[in-house]
Structure 1
Amino acid sequence: MIISFDLDDTLISNNKFDLEKINLFQKIFRIEKLRKDTIVLFKELKRRNHKIFIYTTSYRSVSKIKWMFYSYGISVDYIINQQKHQRSLLDKNIYCSKFPPLFNIDFHIDDSKGVQIEGEKYGFKVLVISETDKNWTQTILKSI
């Protein structure tokens, strides 16, 4: 299964949830802090042979996102940023903030109720994770 994750307020935030510890390298290069337990979750998903995509509407570069995850010792299979999203939807006549089916994504995880509404409208699966969900990894694993 291909599972995609949003970044901002789902996996990255400065003050909405507990964060992974960072090392000296990450401090020096100002690597963004990931939500606590992201590393464990991604390793478990990989162990179960799922592919992990990042699908964000941010303008971060693909290489910056890839290096951020790499610095935590985890890899992602594919990254869709805002530029790639816009290019891919250009000729499709689809107007939504995210459209996972275009990238063969089976299941998308986000913090936005708006993306959930788009999923209902366009027929793709979305799980909205709350910033207050302390068992968010279990919520995801149970939903897959």
Structure 2
Amino acid sequence: MIISFDLDDTLISKNNFQLEKSNLLQQFLGIEGIRKGTISLFKEIKKQKHQIYIYTTSYRSESRIKWMFYSYGISVDFVINQQKHNRRISKKNIHCSKFPPLFNIDIHVDDSIGVEMEGQKNGFKTIIISETDENWTETILNILYPD
């Protein structure tokens, strides 16, 4: 299974949720903090032999995004930023902020109700998590791996 994650207000935020501890090198290089629980969540998903994609409307470079996660000891398999999304979607007659089926993504995790509505309209699966959900990793794991 391929699971994608949004960045802003889902995995990255300056004020809305607790962050993983960062080290001095990360602080020195200005690497963005990631949401507390991301490391253990990604490791569990990888343990289950699934792929992790990042699907963001951000213009951050793919290498910057991959390096950010790598600096926390976790890897992502593929990055879709706004540039890659625009190139791929421009060849289709699709009007969505995100369209996971174009990248063979099975389920997309986001904070946006708008993305959830796009999923309902266009037939792709989403997991919407709130930035205030302190048990967000359990929310995701319970949907991905129901008993």
What TM-score does the superposition give when structure 1 sets the normalisation length? 0.99
Q: Does 1:66 align with 2:28?
A: no
Once the two structures are aligned, what percentage of the paired residues are identical?
69
Q: Distance in 2 between matches of 1:31 and 1:60?
A: 12
Q: Distance in 2 between matches of 1:89 and 1:132?
A: 32
Give the 3-state SS of the residue equivalent to 1:143 in structure 2.
helix
Q: Does 1:54 align with 2:84?
A: no
Q: Which residue of 1 aligns with 2:45?
A: 45
Contiguous gaps of at least 5 residues in structure 1: none
Q: Which residue of 2 aligns with 1:135?
A: 135
Contiguous gaps of at least 5 residues in structure 2: none
Q: Distance in 1 between matches of 2:91 and 2:129?
A: 31
Q: Distance in 2 between matches of 1:72 and 1:9?
A: 18
Give the 3-state SS of the residue equivalent to 1:85 in structure 2.
helix
Q: Distance in 2 between matches of 1:66 and 1:36?
A: 18
CA RMSD of aligned residues (A): 0.4
The 4+ residue runs of structure 1 with deviation greater than 4 A are: none
What TM-score does the superposition give when structure 2 sets the normalisation length? 0.97
Q: Distance in 1 between matches of 2:31 and 2:74?
A: 14
Q: Distance in 1 between matches of 2:4 and 2:124?
A: 12
- Cα drift, residue 66 of structure 1: 0.5
